[in-house]
Amino acid sequence: MAKDLDFNRDKDLARDFLSNFADTNGDPKYMKILQDVANHKTKAIQIDLEDLFNYKDLDEDFLQRVTENTRRYIGIFAEAIDELIPEPTEAFPDDEHDILMTQRSEEGTENTDNSDPRQRMPPEIKRFYEVYIRTSSKGRPFTIREVKASHIGQLVRISGIVTRCSDVKPLMQVAPGDVVELSGIFLPIPYTGFRAMRAGLVADTYLEAMSVSHFKKKYEEYELKGDEEEQIARLAEDGDIYNKLARSLAPEIFGHEDIKKALLLLLVGAPHRKLKDGMKIRGDLHICLMGDPGVAKSQLLKHIINVAPRGVYTTGKGSSGVGLTAAVQKDPVTNEMVLEGGALVLADMGICAIDEFDKMDDSDRTAIHEVMEQQTVSIAKAGITTSLNARTAVLAAANPAWGRYDLRRTPAENINLPPALLSRFDILWLILDRADMDTDLELARHVVYVHQNKESPALGFTPLEPSVLRAYISAARKLCPCIPKELEEYIASAYSGIRQDEAKSNTPHSYTTVRTLLSILRISAALARLRFSDTVAQSDVDEALRLMQMSKFSLYSEDRQRSGLDAISDIYSILRDEAARANKMDVNYAHALNWISRKGYSEAQLKECLEEYAALNVWQIHPNTFDIRFIDA
């Protein structure tokens, strides 16, 4: 038989706890809060279960009673606070509550002896504060499905994604798509009248929230702590920070350095541009990873969603058009037609990762077109005509048309995505799985090491934690780099050169449009942000062009093998063509290195080519600067 509960004794315990509990500095924590309440500085009194657990004069049974009968104990703590609340120490103007209380107390003077309890004013009305009990952050929170009928009346902690918000509680500061952790009291909503007769013992349930905390704050809301600011300042001064940040993304995945760099730039993004006439130019980068099976595309997607403060992961076959954009549904409470945001809307100001992109139906895939360029979702359904924001970066992963890339077919046949969609991706990265003795050995050793030790092999530095990455990126995203005048001509000539190369090619590897030029500008701005620079440098533009070229590197290497060109001959052809295009006999070494690195060659191969052709008297090399002068035959 359950023992009788003495609520008066528990009230004494609560009063003792509130008046005597001290924080780490030895100050009375809750008496300070009560003084602020008395001075009308705050209205919320949050009681932490951790403090109850750590308080020496309370037993575990009291803590269990608070957890299992929370609604009742909020009332007990409120009664204790009524007795403890001090006199105000600061003057404050009367608000609506004070005026109302004065008026009510004047109206109730005729019942001065309190003989009629029905005429007595309840203490709940007099209170100008609210009491919340916050659960401990230790342990795993429940999922919504794990909360059962046995938890009724108890304090529970659940985690999940917010799908819809009403305007009833605007101070909660949550939006659809936020990953949050709620702690609150799980309570029933009993039916009344005829509905109660029909429902019998069945009742709806709800969670009366006591506290709401974000798992990952948005970049804009991220506040750097003192030690984080120092750490980011140290990282920003590191000359190799670009490589370190990229290699800290999914260090367990072997290789893919350039892909990780592109994904890092996807997280950083470029600033959005808004013109005077209201036209907007997006700053978010869109990347599509297309490759053979088993090249870790899905793992990279999952890791990026883990790092990003706001991310939604979905698969192509399991996503419909309305599931990605928005669906019109009947609200179960009000029976009104309401809009339910889809994956792209929930990922607003974040990243939407779509796996198995090639398996999507064409009709569903067209829903993404508007989101990728205009960054809105327009709806005209069931009498609802509106436009929803979907300012999201799309990260897609797909397999080629026949499962694996078929080198006998053209790139267009293999990629098998409509040009209208392809042109919207800033980078389409082709990853071909080719047999190579040395690479395969390194890969196998890496995978075996990860399986044995459950961590990546040593990278030469300690990989940065996702929280540090988020802090660094949030600081970088505050900058808005601009392109200086002197780079305009350089970018324009680079873009026209890409167009010319594509026009000459029998089987072009990509669709180069004006969107490609915007992509170059976006990637360059993202690189400038990483350096904490307000202006885009030429090195940023060169790296942007190199990444766009490297995305098709696996195809270029196959083309070279097919045409029989070795690396040295190909480098010579590149330098000769570029010099002829500029109509110059002298070539700067830095420019030469930039041209060949875009095609995927290394500096060692360039030096080998320079020595070989200098011996043939094709050109002369400056002994100090390595600049090239062609000998006119």
Dihedrals phi, psi of 621, to nearest 5 degrees: -115, 130
* pLDDT of 507: 61
Are 508 and 516 contacting, i.e. CB atoms less than 8 angstroms apart?
Answer: no
| Pure H helices in 238-307 | 241-247, 257-268, 297-307
Is residue 593's pLDDT more than 60? yes
For 605-627, b/e burial (b = at least 16 CB within 10 A) is bbeebbeebeeeebbebeeeeeb
pLDDT in tens, 611-620: 888 887 778 8
Strand-pair partners of 312: 352
Residue 304 CA to residue 353 CA, distance in Å, equals 8
Is residue 295's pLDDT more than 70? yes
Residue 493 CA to residue 517 CA, distance in Å, equals 11
pLDDT in tens, 216-244: 666 666 666 667 777 777 877 777 788 88
3-class secondary-structure state, position 130? strand
Record: fold of 226-559? Rossmann fold (3.40.50)
Residue 471 CA to residue 309 CA, distance in Å, equals 10
Claim: this prediction has a pTM higher than 0.75: no
Residue 431 CA to residue 254 CA, distance in Å, equals 13
* pLDDT of 13: 84
* pLDDT of 564: 47
3-class secondary-structure state, position 535? strand
* pLDDT of 114: 57
Element at 48 (helix H, strand E)? strand 44-48
* 451 vs 201 pLDDT, higher one: 451
Task: Identify the band that residue 67 occupies on the pLDDT scale cut at 50, 70 and 90.
Answer: confident
What whole-number percentage of the chain has pLDDT above 70?
86
∠ CA(377), CA(371), CA(523), 5° rounding? 150
| Pure H helices in 164-285 | 194-199, 226-237, 241-247, 257-268
Are 598 and 571 contacting, i.e. CB atoms less than 8 angstroms apart?
Answer: no
- The CATH classification number of 149-214 equals 2.40.50.140
Is residue 600's pLDDT more than 60? yes
* pLDDT of 374: 83
Query: Which CATH number among 2.60.40, 1.10.10, 1.25.40, 1.20.1740 corresponds to the domain 564-630?
Result: 1.10.10
For 196-229, b/e burial (b = at least 16 CB within 10 A) is eeeeeeeeeeebeebbbebebeebeebeeeeebe
* pLDDT of 217: 65
Is residue 109's pLDDT more than 60? no
Note whether 7-103+121-134 and 564-630 share their fold: no
Provide mean pLDDT across the span 435-460.
82
| Pure H helices in 7-109 | 7-20, 29-38, 49-54, 60-68, 70-84, 96-107
Of 102-116, 296-310, 560-574, which one has max mean pLDDT?
Answer: 296-310
pLDDT in tens, 261-272: 899 999 998 888
Identify the architecture of domain 7-103+121-134 in CATH: 2-Layer Sandwich (3.30)
Angle, in degrees to the nearest 10, between helices 60-68 and 7-20: 110
- From the list 512, 483, 511, the residue with the least C-alpha distance to 495 is 512
What whole-number percentage of the chain has pLDDT above 90?
1
pLDDT in tens, 387-416: 777 888 889 888 888 778 777 777 777 777
- CA torsion sign for 149, 154, 156, 160 is positive
* 523 vs 406 pLDDT, higher one: 523
* pLDDT of 1: 35
* pLDDT of 597: 78
Residue 427 CA to residue 524 CA, distance in Å, equals 13
Are 232 and 472 contacting, i.e. CB atoms less than 8 angstroms apart?
Answer: yes
pLDDT in tens, 138-192: 778 888 888 888 888 888 888 887 777 765 555 666 767 677 888 888 888 877 7
Q: Where are the domains of the chain?
A: 7-103+121-134, 149-214, 226-559, 564-630
Query: 205 to each of 151, 168, 187, 188, 316, how far by Cα in Å?
Result: 11, 18, 6, 4, 34
